[in-house]
Structure 1
Amino acid sequence: MNKSKIAMIAAITVLSTAGLMTPAQNTVGTISNPTAITAYAADSVYTGNGYQLNYTVSGNSATVTGFKKTSTAATVKVSIPAKLGGKNVTKIGRYAFHSAAISECTMPDTVTALGEYAFTNCQNLTTITLSKNLSVAASGGYLFTNCNKLKTINVSGNMSDSSFLTTHIWVLNNCTVQGTYSANGYQLNYKILNANNAANGAEILSFAKTSSAASVKVDIPEKINGYDVKKIGVSAFKGAAVSEISMPDTVTTLATYVFNNNSYLTKIKLSKRLVDSTATGYLFNGCTNLKTVVASSEMDPAFYRHLDYNWITDLTYQIIYNDSYALDYKIIDNAVTVKKFHKISSADAVKVTIPTTFRGKDITTIGDHAFCDAAASEVVMSDNITTIQSWAFNNAKAMKKIVLSRNLIWNAAGDLFHGVEDTLEQIVVPPSENAKLFALSHMNDIKCLWPYIKQVTDPAAQNVYNSMKNAARITNPEINWNIPASGWAREEAKYQIAHYIHTHFCDYVTYDGSKPALGTSYCLSTGYGVCGTMARSYLLLLKTAGFHDDEMELIGAPGHELTGIKLFNEWYFVECTNSDEDSFAMRYQNEWYTGTAPGSYDGFVNRLPNYEEYYYYTGGAVTFDVNANSEAALAERYKAVYPRGDVNHDGVFNNADRTMMDQYRAGANVQPNLVMSYVRKQLNTNAPSYWL
């Protein structure tokens, strides 16, 4: 055994008998009797500046086994080399620096293990730089016992074993850990005050970009070397070339100027534990391109005031609810619009509850495409929602239930619920007129609502019909409202009722082209409709009067709809957007389109291939090969020669034509030259396509 080793063991024995080896209450490792230390064989010596290190080599690794000060100075600074004897230094052995007169020690990142008592009783040690590859499993206990002056621990990078520090430095009072956290394209400098208490957490001090890119995205870790990241310090990201920042929910404090003049910053995710009282000023000063803020609904709402700068405009708030989903909000004209839904949870069923307010402002609108393709199983609106914009729930096939706001109002937006007609299973319509009319007008294609719509529509039709019938009993007592079962009397009663209802229909329903999405039920409930709903409403009134389904038709056209009714075994057009006499029973009129000058709307009725419906087409838009006896062929033949309604073909339309038609309707033996329609689409008035 060499003399230096014998001297070290003797010194340890004296210290032990003097009572200096009593460790703090460290639970890692067991206390060994220093007098039992076995001498190392064949130790080699490395000479540093004022000191020597003893070491051994085994295989490809070297272990530091002892220290000797050679300087006359009271203490020395030690830098352990990465290699000794040509091998990586992987371990600092048991008692290697016990009671050593060192003030600072730096170890290389090759070191993975520290033996028991490696730095015990180094009472002059103030600063140590640890290897980032140290392992708890490979190291012993009582590493820093009685190192009372050790106040600074440097770490060169991200420790491979994040539990090493919290396991071994709790015995060091008022100790600060500082170092650099490295990630893809950037580094974060940090410190941990009073690191002996793991609850104190880490503070981010500064940022450095290591990428050649103009800017980087920063994901601040939840923990650094075992400590929660709790604070981002003064000016930490000031002027930083950072486009996006995500901070963990461990952060509770943001210091002054933390993101000051970060002109690259476009998006930031805030910690849900931020509170206004712990944040100082000018946090986002000069962040002129900040457009998206992600935050939890649990965050202190008062904190948002730090974003109220004149240069932060058009800001989107993405608010996370229960770690299940997020809603994007925009504040527009002092109200809030839901702009987008994001599913976060991996669960199949996600229930979304839209709150009443955000930042003290009412959430009033669900924006266009907000829930488009959304994987939300249920959506519950607050009663502050008044408006839903176009395509808001387009193709949201995962949605099975929706609860409407009682204050929803109709708007001109279209296709709000396109694609969910067959998949939505439940619609809750609150007991309010607004909600009812919204559902009737915007949701009438959704199958699960059809029973509700029919429950509304049938009584509405009955009410209008009863009102008309009661008025007619005074003004037109000759009308027989009890339609006979068959024969000429049935046809005569049908004609009188159909004519009267048509004549007075527009007293009850007004054409309103600003509301093209309205359903029949809305038309009858409110008295406003468009061609399609007015045509259906007219047929519903005839159905209520006693017309059979095979005596009524709904005829579609590009941009228009009208009806067909069968009277005296012949079919007639009835235009329902007005109550003009010429709009009723237009068997002799080819160009029936209301408001178009005679002769200028060249159209025909033709059956589409593979469809059981008939549509009215403009001759100039589509070319069809039609049968020579069809209405289309007759229209083409007559349109250039005879004026509209010229049923006697004398070249003019006058009272003589009207007289002939009156005679024809009355069953007289006259033969007007008619443009026949021959449409034969039968309606099932119990089917949704009829009463929607």
Structure 2
Amino acid sequence: MKHSKIITWLSATMLGLTITAFSPRLTAEAAQGNGTTDDGFSYTYDTVTKEATITRYDGNEKELTIPKKVGNYTVTVIGKGVFQSHKITKLTIPGNVKEIKEFAFGWCNSLTSVEFKGATKVDEHAFYKCPVLTDISLSKNMPSIGSYAFQACKGLKTLTIPADIKMGGSVFSDCTSLHTVTINGATEVGVSAFSGCTSLKNIYLSDSVKTIGSSAFSNCTSLQSYIVPSSIKTIEPGAFYKCSSLNSVSIQGQTEIQSGAFWNCSKLEKVQLSPNSRTPSNQCGFIDCPSLHIVNGKEALQYETDSNGEIYPIINPAITESIRDHFCRSENVGFVDEYCTKLCEYIVKTETDPWMNDALKARQLHDWLICHCEKENSNDGKDVGDVENHVASSIFLSYAINARGEGMGETVCEGFAKAYTMLLTTAKIESHIIGCNIHVLNLVRINDKYYTVDVTNDAQYEISYDSFLKSTPCTTYDQYLEYDHPLLEVYHNDISKEIPKCLQDYPDSNWDGILDNDFDLDGTDFAHDFMDDLNAYQGMLRFAFGFDSTPEQINDRLGEVLSQLHALHKGYWDYVNDAAPVSVKVSNGGTAEFKVTLFGEDLHYQWMVYNDRIGCWDYMQCAEGIEPTLRWPADEDTNGMKFYCCITNQDGYTINSMPVTLTVI
């Protein structure tokens, strides 16, 4: 017997087998099996683990409790699609079930309630499109619920997530009757978790929740207001996208609001932002919120009146920091757009005059931008790539919050180009944004011709016109179709065919931004407007600057003429016609005022009065007699008095005004 045992062992060894290698193989083959129960369950099982997976159900129970065992095996898994489209109305999942596979209960059109009693993992689409499911009872020790697990369960009205259950993407999305969600213990609301829950009005998050994930509550169109708990550290992109009824939001804590978190919330009017909340410098949290006007309980946009009685907009100083932290990167936000629009209207109204031609208006607006904004230099920790340098409001908001000092903003080429187009559009001048080799500038239409304007380049050394109304250096520019402000949408025709035609500079040989030899500044040069320009040169400009002045010298000083005319808000010929004093009627006891408004260098004034006693004109010896403005008492003795002014220029040449009369009434 001893020998036979040894031989048997040796035989096994010679065959290349060992007892330890052979036995498990036999066990593994014997560990798998399948079976069927009398109540309709088909299953597979493992004889080692004593666990079973339900693979099929042919029963007809309406109120179904998953059995704890089938045969002698504990049910731990419900297989893929097992109960799909069955007519179950009520379902109980016992604690022994560890996992529910994909679509296990998908399209169960009669299922109204599900109760989980243990730590069951729910896989993707497990209860997909169960339209009358109204009651879900989740256990506290469930590990996870997979993506789309309860998507489109349109009958679900309330939901409580009791513990830290990891939720997959879109887990409860499109549950269109869901109106109240309570999350206790989870650390985040998953990506698109409640997207499309169009009846959702109430969201309760415990302090354990730190993150509201991307698109978590997007398209929740019934949500009207929401207070974001102080525990929330991050609101990810698109979290509240298209919450079209959302009227107010309050951010309580040290929360980072990421790009588009509140995007396309068309009725959002009020936001409360804690001092510790922030939006990253390369992102904008509020986009397409056209109704938003109240920040931290205050109207974000206010109006003041300048010394000339013109009303202009300002950003409420009480919320400057919140604007700086959250809205300098925003697009199509109500108060931001209104501020930019109203400021453009104010700038155009105060910096240009109706008598100016388009080129002069373009010059004035070019100068305003350069005087009120500097090129981004990153000295304040900002970067040229920051979103706030590239949005339509870039210059105007940074100007409003004094980024570089009182009334000074900062931006890059795209910010300059967008602001310039907005100003020109307000002035009814066609402008487009074009770019080449990551540099952005403008294509501007003046007198049916296109020219380039590069405000960024002209802003490098105070004000210059090196890049004002010039030809294109190359023909490879791309048109920027930027629609982040209504003023950028007005002129959006295709100009790709026009860019190669821009081959000629605006005639401006002295590079002052003014048409050469256009002495009366009417937009027509000397060659085409000979008499008016000659009269302007000979009649007043030569007198103002001295008779030795050549046409070239006077042409070089037309910028000064423009400045003087703009101060008077008069075109050249109106200025000439109105420069002389006029007769006045003044009430008895009042003061008559006669004024000469000529501009020029070293002009001397001498008022003359008609002396009835000797029948001739006489010098006025009083102090007022040698000023451009004469003030004279109106009474019975001065009624009918006549005056005129003799003006002498630096060369000793004189011109006399027509006589004027004081009438006392």
TM-score (norm 2): 0.39
TM-score (norm 1): 0.38
Q: Which has the larger radius of gyration?
A: 1
